[in-house]
Amino acid sequence: MGGSKLKLLALPILLLLPFLFLFAGPPRVLRGFLEAPLRAPVLPGDLLPLLPWPVAQPLLRRLALRGPADLLPSFVGVARAPVDGDAGRTAEWKGACFYENRAWVEFRNGTNGGLGGGVVHVETTKAHSWTCIDLYVFATPYRVTWDYYFLGREHTLEFKEWESEAEYEYVKRNGVSIFLMPSGTIGTLRALWDVFPLFTNTVWGENANLNFLKKHMGATFEERPKPWVSELNPDDIHSGDFLVLSKIRGRWGGFETLEKWVTGAYAGHTAVFLRDSDGKLWVGESGNENEKGEDVIAILPWEEWWEFEVTKDDSNPQIALLPLHPDLRSKFNETAAWNYAKSMEGKPYGYHNMIFSWIDTISDNYPPPLDAHVVASVMTVWTKLQPEYASNLWKEALNKRLGTKGLDLPEIIVESEKRGITFDKLLTVPEKDNWVYEDGQSASCVTFVLMMYKEAGLFGPITNSVEVTEFTIKDAYTLNFFENNSTRLPKWCNKDDTVKLPFCQIKGRYRMELPGYNTMEPYAHMNERCPSLPPDYKRTKGC
């Protein structure tokens, strides 16, 4: 209640501010308000952050812009230091509030032998209303900071001292990257409202995930007839049969929703069946949580794995069984598959190559407004906040792409630039299946399954020409490795469903969709250069 009262008290103060500045402000403040003929006096959306939440929330829904993508900053330009009056080095762009903006960098000398610092000058003009605000993020490989602008004038953002000579040299050559929150205050708040429930373990959260995937991917989520858990016969399951899971609530549900959105996969997790020499059925899985809370590669008895998914997994997974085609089943080298699985058991989940299976191209894998500049800035922030996680997610992998060891992210970016490789190009260098990281060979959930397929001989003569660490989950289930004759599916497969899927859904309220299922003939170097832009996720031939 106190917060709401403060917001109400702040509202008249905000409305008075333009007049206070108009009559008491310095000349450059006056200049901003003399643009009044070009502005609407007040736009309702600009004031929503100051209203009590019960009032603001329904208006927020009505006035908001695109949705969760509004949380992603949009790269608008690079502020550089002018050289000999070269105006071409000044960044110019259109903002969400101010329609004409320009920026440049001024270097300042240090004292007592110091490197000095710099000032980013940002000039904002032509606002669309008196009350709108533009939010910005400013980044180098060594730091990320932010600022917001309410007045049309020249603003300054000071970097008191460069963190190192490397940062100084980088900014001299490349400048300071500028990112705009493209929907301003209201769009960002709306995006937070849309994204937050994705990660909540509630009915609200589940519905948020379903609605997100319907809106951004065209998923349908048609309800299946009960029972939603199949009475399956394990005797009909064989080594190499593939499991795909789609989690739709809680922490993993939210993560998988965003993963599906950027990759085009209609599932977010995978596992694989194995039978031992005694006929006992097991499930191999990368991403199983152990007693210490670590995500590792595990080989579990089928009964244990299935009981957990049916009774304990609070992410409400929808699960499908994709039986191997009989021809491939006959080729499946069970001994080699077991040897691989046992060699990987207990190793960490493959965080090292997780994002690189998604990024294949310079610009055609990023849903707008995401791009390589934003990725670099997110990496910079995350490296500062969680250096250990950063090492797992990209530091060591980027070093491998450069053939270096131990370089931190800023050093990686600088070294890449020295070699004439832009950072967005570096991100597209294909992962190699034989790369070994500090904690061993890296295998995400889908990489673990496909590496087993390679070891078991399913890729045949092109085995050494395919890097399965470049495959997404969609790439895996579109391989033509699976049963294509519905009459050979087990009798219990989808027996209570009026729609006969080409695979066996064994759990879930909603009918699973796997567009492109079982259609792709494998070929050398596949999935190393593929676009994946929503909502169609069209791939180019031979990518």
Kindly compute the dihedral angle of the four CA atoms of residues 67, 70, 71, 75, in this order, to the nearest 10 degrees: 160
**Among the listed residues 493, 531, 532, the one whose alpha carbon sits nearest the alpha carbon of residue 512:** 493
**Dist. CA 325–CA 363, nearest whole Å:** 36
**Percent over 70 (pLDDT), the chain:** 81
**Among the listed residues 527, 536, 533, the one whose alpha carbon sits nearest the alpha carbon of residue 476:** 527
pLDDT given at position 410 = 84
With b for 16 or more beta-carbon neighbours within 10 A and e for fewer, the 44-69 pattern comes to ebbbbbbbeeeebeeebeebbbbbbb
pLDDT given at position 71 = 54
pLDDT given at position 309 = 96
DSSP 423-483: HHHHTTSPP-TT-EETTEE-B-HHHHHHHHHHHTTTTGGGGGG--GGG--HHHHHTBS-B-
pTM of the model: 0.74
What is the separation, in whole angstroms, between the first and last Cα of the chain? 57
**Dist. CA 268–CA 465, nearest whole Å:** 26
User: Residue 12: is its pLDDT beyond 80?
Assistant: no
Segment 513-534 shows an average pLDDT of 96
Residue 277 burial (C-beta neighbours within 10 Å; 0-12, 13-18, 19+): exposed
Out of 10-19, 44-53, 247-256, 335-344, give the one with best mean pLDDT.
335-344
Check if the beta carbon of residue 358 is closer than 8 Å to that of residue 531. no
**Among the listed residues 471, 477, 468, the one whose alpha carbon sits nearest the alpha carbon of residue 513:** 477
Does the CA dihedral 330-332-335-336 come out positive or negative? Answer: positive
Average pLDDT, the chain: 83
pLDDT given at position 384 = 63
User: Residue 378: is its pLDDT beyond 90?
Assistant: no
**Dist. CA 453–CA 354, nearest whole Å:** 19
From 38-42, 106-110, 149-153, 420-424, the region with the lowest mean pLDDT: 38-42
Count CB atoms within 10 A of the CB of residue 410: 19
Please name the residues in contact with 305: beta carbons below 8 A apart, sequence gap of 6 or more.
271, 283, 285
| H or E element that contains 533 | none
Check if the beta carbon of residue 283 is closer than 8 Å to that of residue 302. yes
- The sheet with strand 117-127 has its strands ordered as 91-93, 98-108, 117-127, 154-159
Check if the beta carbon of residue 181 is closer than 8 Å to that of residue 188. yes
pLDDT given at position 513 = 96
User: Residue 62: is its pLDDT beyond 70?
Assistant: no
Is residue 341 classed as helix, strand or coil in its secondary structure?
helix
Is residue 35 classed as helix, strand or coil in its secondary structure?
coil
Is residue 338 classed as helix, strand or coil in its secondary structure?
helix
User: Residue 30: is its pLDDT beyond 80?
Assistant: no
- Quote the tokens at residue 407: 């370089």
From 28-42, 129-143, 354-368, 518-532, the region with the lowest mean pLDDT: 28-42
- Quote the tokens at residue 49: 């952050």
DSSP 193-231: HHHGGGGSSSHHHHHHHHHHHHHHH----PBPPSPSB--
Select the more confidently predicted residue: 382 or 140: 140
User: Residue 267: is its pLDDT beyond 70?
Assistant: yes
From 6-15, 55-64, 316-325, the region with the lowest mean pLDDT: 6-15
**Among the listed residues 373, 382, 433, the one whose alpha carbon sits nearest the alpha carbon of residue 174:** 373
| H or E element that contains 326 | helix 326-331
Select the more confidently predicted residue: 292 or 105: 105
- Quote the tokens at residue 304: 């244990």
**Dist. CA 323–CA 321, nearest whole Å:** 6
| DSSP-derived secondary structure letter, 352 | G
Select the more confidently predicted residue: 418 or 85: 418
Q: Are strands 176-180 and 134-140 parallel, antiparallel or unpaired?
A: antiparallel
User: Residue 390: is its pLDDT beyond 60?
Assistant: yes
Tens digits of residue pLDDT in 274-303: 999 999 999 999 999 888 888 899 999 999
From 133-142, 256-265, 518-527, the region with the lowest mean pLDDT: 133-142
Check if the beta carbon of residue 406 is closer than 8 Å to that of residue 171. no
| DSSP-derived secondary structure letter, 129 | B
**Among the listed residues 100, 108, 90, 102, the one whose alpha carbon sits nearest the alpha carbon of residue 158:** 108
Confidence of residue 27 (pLDDT cuts 50, 70, 90): very low
**Dist. CA 284–CA 301, nearest whole Å:** 9
Tens digits of residue pLDDT in 172-231: 988 998 988 765 555 555 555 666 788 888 898 899 999 999 988 999 999 999 999 999
CA distances from 374 to 223, 263, 392 (A): 37, 17, 19
pLDDT given at position 57 = 45
